[in-house]
Amino acid sequence: MMNQMIDNKRKIAFALILIIVGAILLADNLNLFYIYIPFYLRKWYTFFVFIGLFLLLVRDKMAPGIVMIALGGLFMISDIFDVRVFSLWPAGLIVLGIIILFRKKGMEFHADSIHTDDYLDELAVFSGPNRKIRSKNFKGGKVTTVFGGTELDFSSASLAEGKNVIDIFTIFGGTTIYVPQDWDVKVNVTPIFGGYSDERRLIDVTDNSRQLIITGTVIFGGGELKTKIKTD
């Protein structure tokens, strides 16, 4: 209840900021009154910064928020200091390192089980791993894919009781997940300049006590959720 109230306050605050900024820019464009606004705040890339702030402040999505702010910031710095944006590419390595650190830190509470299939902590950078999960008590995890592709096959796995969450973060890559037909799966992935499709062959789910929730963000990339006949 408390978290929902905080989320609502964040959404209202962010919406009010957008309304105020939009009203000021519109009034300035219509010459209703003059306000000095630096040229770099009028550019298209400020849209990326606003998306990043929304993800950080409203959706609590650290990694994608940092990516969008960094992307807009690179173009902004390029304009302010009159340098080529491509000369700033090493900053991308810094951002990537920060993202990996934050996502690895989020898995620390699974440290005692990180080497089993019960929890997943997959990282693919410029690579395309294919992994078959065989856990009989799978509890979720994280998947980070950067300039690569990840394929996860759960056809030989079973879910733990309750809600089990896989948090995916994909940028310039793809993540494909295969699940058994009888699994109860909910997809809540946020695509930004990308997409994540649910291609499952749906059947009636008989066991509602076990659920897999796939959440996360896809930026300039894609992914699919597919079904596969369960094997032992």
Domain residue spans of the chain: 2-103, 109-227
The pLDDT of residue 115: 41
Q: Say if residue 110's pLDDT is above 50.
A: no
Instruction: Tell me the pLDDT tens digit for each residue of 164-176.
Output: 999 998 888 899 9
pLDDT band at 112 (very low <50, low <70, confident <90, very high): very low
CA–CA separation, 114 and 103 (whole Å): 14
Instruction: Tell me the pLDDT tens digit for each residue of 10-44.
Output: 777 777 777 888 888 788 778 777 777 787 777 88
The pLDDT of residue 108: 43
Q: Are 147 and 168 in contact (CB under 8 A)?
A: no
φ/ψ (deg, to 5) at 164: -120, 125
Q: Are 219 and 67 in contact (CB under 8 A)?
A: yes
- 19 CA to centre of own chain: 26
User: What tokens were used for 76?
Assistant: 């902004």
Specify the 3-state DSSP secondary structure of 90: helix
pLDDT band at 116 (very low <50, low <70, confident <90, very high): low
Specify the 3-state DSSP secondary structure of 195: strand
Q: Are 117 and 157 in contact (CB under 8 A)?
A: yes
Q: Are 69 and 47 in contact (CB under 8 A)?
A: no
- 147 CA to centre of own chain: 14
Specify the 3-state DSSP secondary structure of 202: coil
CB atoms within 10 A of CB 194: 19
C-alpha distance across the termini of the chain, in Å: 41
Q: Say if residue 203's pLDDT is above 70.
A: no
User: What tokens were used for 41?
Assistant: 């705040």
Residue linked to tokens 């037909």: 181
Q: What is the residue-averaged pLDDT of the chain?
A: 81
Residue linked to tokens 């770099």: 40
The pLDDT of residue 162: 93
User: What tokens were used for 200?
Assistant: 């499952």
